[in-house]
Amino acid sequence: MGLFGGGKQSGRERRAMKDHLVELDELRRKQLRDLGAMTVEMAEAGRFDRERLSEQAREVVGIDREADLIARGLEEGLTLEELEDLARSDDEPATDPGK
Amino acid sequence: MRKGALKKKQRQLEELHLDRREALGELVLGMFVQGSWDEAIMSRGAAEVREVAEELDALAAPPAPPVDSGEHDLAPTGEHTAEHSMPETGEHTGTHIIPGPGMPDTAEHTQEHAVPAATPAVTEPGPKKPEAGKTGSDSPAATAESAPPKAGTPKPDSGKPRTPKPDTGKESSAKAVAAAAAAASTPPAPGKPETPKPPASVAVEGKAEAEPQPKLSELDLLEEKIGKSESQARTAAEAAKASTAADSRTELSAITREIEADRTKLTSTLSTASARIADAEKRADAAEAKLARESAANREAAAGWVRSQAAEIEADAALAAEIAADPDGSPDSGADAGPRQAELEARIRTLETSLEAEKASKIEALTIAESRLKAIEESAREAEKRVEEAEASLSEAGTAPVPVEAAPGIVTEAEAREAAVVWLRGQISALRQEISKGEASDKKGGT
């Protein structure tokens, strides 16, 4: 069991979470393609701008984190409020491994 | 190639392009997450993506006109070859004799000949231009067939150079030219991807193409053509290999995602099942505890009922005993009926004992008093007899005077005895009254 579990997840919330997970997957793939295109452009230019690449990769990491949170909400049957609380509690300064 | 097949091929290439871009993005993301950047790997990935993009561009380019090779309508400025001064009729290729200042009068030549041999700047084979492929053809049919290039297939017939995509708006013509120039300027090293080159080099090469070309022998041309074909074949083979690898990676990542999803689902199912089992166990424990509590409560209630029944029976028995012991008494009820009854009985017994003793003492006293009264009455009768005898003796002696002094003495003794009898009689009557009173009070207390 998770941290919460006081309330009960409704079917509507579950559907919304699933839909959002699908959206996040699409968004992640789009961001990855953009990142790939950016890399190709930089390779053509002969210079890789790591700042820009890191910035784009950070967005993908943010999407991954959100997707993990939603997946956890689905797995543990959390309500949206509990999920919001969890997101706030996990909203600590992100480490930047790219630097 | 048929139009449908062409579209299918184009669609496949587009998907491959997207997959490769995504794979490259994943690669860069992994580098970002691990914090270790490798520009060589990024360059390789970018080259693979660009390769597919070029093939896609080549496939999307409109086919060349069937008869005219298209080189004749070039603008006066910009890139051109020696073919521009060819006659307007009929097919022609680089095999036509082009009178030029630096060109030999021999037969076939290519655009590479535009670079003068004396020019030291361009020593390697010159950049491939779209027209370059046509310069090596010997027949008009071959020229017409070379318009739609074979992209992404390792077939050796794709050795014909790809025509650069005209300005479609997606990317600038300069970029297309740069890509073509980069593709052409790559030395035919096997297994090595194409490397980008700055557009400036294209300009230089474009200028060089305008130079007069030296004539080469047919053997050299053939050799060069074979080399180009081999290079193209290698490129196509590498592209196919990369495509297969990308497909494998994509498929692998899809399988991995599926496995992850299944694992997540399984884990959630297991956790749900374990939660249900724990819940059921809790409920079973609660039910057992409830059953035990109810059993204990029932036993306690039964014991209480038995105790109350026993108390009632005892109370009934005590009441019955009380009623049996004292039929006239008031029945007591409750828990203090027993001790009170016993106390009362004891008190009654004490009272009866004392009453009996008093009665016995009074009877004894009465008996003593009666015997004493009898004795007194006997003595009184004897005294009266003596008095009568004395009076009779006195009457007989009547004639003789009786002394007066002796008479008072006799009277006084008789009077004393008479007074004692009277007193005793009074005492006996008082005792009899007392006894009768005590009996009357006993009778009253009993009722």
Per-residue pLDDT of A81-99, as tens digits, reads: 888 888 888 765 544 444 4
Per-residue pLDDT, B152: 38
**Is the CB of residue A99 less than 8 Å away from at least one CB of chain B?**
yes
Report the alpha-carbon distance of residue B71 to residue B129 in Å, rounded. Answer: 11
- Summarize pLDDT for A51-73 with one digit per residue, the tens: 999 999 999 999 999 999 999 99
CB B137 within 8 A of CB B225: no
Domain, as residue range, for B119: 3-262
Overall number of domains in chain B: 2
Per-residue pLDDT, B232: 84
- Mean pLDDT for A21-39 is 94
Q: What's the gap in Å between the CA of B213 and the closest CA on chain A?
A: 31
**Is the CB of residue A71 less than 8 Å away from at least one CB of chain B?**
yes
State percent of chain B over pLDDT 90.
6
Same domain for B118 and B241: yes
Whether B286 maps to a domain, the answer reads no
Q: Is the pLDDT of residue A78 over 70?
A: yes
Per-residue pLDDT, B245: 80
Whether B114 maps to a domain, the answer reads yes
Least confident interval from B49-58, B88-97, B273-282, B346-355: B88-97
DSSP code of residue B36: -
User: Would you state the structure tokens that stand for residue B46, as one six-digit string?
Assistant: 């970018």
Q: Is the pLDDT of residue B445 over 70?
A: no
- Mean pLDDT for B47-52 is 90
Q: Pick the last residue of a domain from B243, B262, B281.
A: B262
Per-residue pLDDT, B404: 46
DSSP code of residue B111: G
- Mean pLDDT for B105-122 is 43
* B360 band by pLDDT with thresholds 50, 70 and 90: confident
CB atoms within 10 A of CB B55: 26
Per-residue pLDDT, B99: 45
State which residue of chain A sits closest to B26, comparing Cα positions.
A32
Of B24, B33, B35, the CB nearest to A39: B24
State which residue of chain A sits closest to B273, comparing Cα positions.
A1
Q: Is the pLDDT of residue B138 over 70?
A: no
State which residue of chain A sits closest to B16, comparing Cα positions.
A33
Domain boundaries defined on chain A: 11-90
Least confident interval from A22-31, A75-84, B122-131: B122-131
* B390 band by pLDDT with thresholds 50, 70 and 90: confident
Whether B312 maps to a domain, the answer reads no
* B342 band by pLDDT with thresholds 50, 70 and 90: confident
Q: Pick the last residue of a domain from B214, B238, B262.
A: B262
Per-residue pLDDT, B109: 46
Question: Where is mean pLDDT largest: B80-84, B101-105, B442-446?
Answer: B442-446
Per-residue pLDDT, B111: 47
**H-only helix segments in B127-172:** 132-135, 140-145
Whether B66 maps to a domain, the answer reads yes
DSSP letters for A5-37: -SS---HHHHHHHHHHHHHHHHHHHHHHHHHHH
Per-residue pLDDT, B412: 63
More confident residue, B444 or B261: B261
Q: Is the pLDDT of residue B94 over 80?
A: no
pTM above 0.80, yes or no: no
Same domain for B246 and B360: no
Same domain for B255 and B361: no
Whether B364 maps to a domain, the answer reads yes
- Mean pLDDT for B27-55 is 90
Q: Give the CA dihedral B137, B140, B143, B144, nearest 10 degrees.
A: -170
- Mean pLDDT for B426-436 is 77
Q: What's the gap in Å between the CA of B207 and the closest CA on chain A?
A: 22
- Summarize pLDDT for B196-215 with one digit per residue, the tens: 333 333 333 444 444 445 55
Q: Is the pLDDT of residue B35 over 50?
A: yes
CB B370 within 8 A of CB B427: no
Q: What's the gap in Å between the CA of A76 and the closest CA on chain B?
A: 8
User: Tokens 């003495």, residue?
Assistant: B409
- Summarize pLDDT for B169-189 with one digit per residue, the tens: 333 333 433 333 344 444 433
Residue B441 half-sphere exposure toward CB, CA atoms < 13 A: 11
Q: Is the pLDDT of residue B355 over 70?
A: yes
Report the alpha-carbon distance of residue B48 to residue B20 in Å, rounded. Answer: 7
CB contacts, 8 Å: A75 with chain B:
264, 267-268, 271
Q: Is the pLDDT of residue B265 over 80?
A: yes
- Summarize pLDDT for B300-337 with one digit per residue, the tens: 888 888 888 888 888 888 888 877 776 555 555 555 66
Per-residue pLDDT, B442: 62
Per-residue pLDDT, B204: 38
Start-to-end C-alpha separation, chain A: 36
- Mean pLDDT for B134-146 is 37
Per-residue pLDDT, B133: 37
CB contact under 8 A, A32 and B29: yes
Per-residue pLDDT, A52: 92
More confident residue, B29 or B401: B29
CB contact under 8 A, B25 and A60: yes
Q: Is the pLDDT of residue B126 over 50?
A: no
Q: What's the gap in Å between the CA of B309 and the closest CA on chain A?
A: 51
Q: Is the pLDDT of residue B223 over 70?
A: yes
Report the alpha-carbon distance of residue A75 to residue A69 in Å, rounded. Answer: 10
CB atoms within 10 A of CB B332: 17
Same domain for B252 and B383: no
Whether B96 maps to a domain, the answer reads yes
CB B114 within 8 A of CB B126: yes
Same domain for B16 and B116: yes
Residues of chain B numbered 15-44 and touching chain A (CB < 8 Å): 18, 20-26, 28-29, 31-35, 37, 39, 42-43
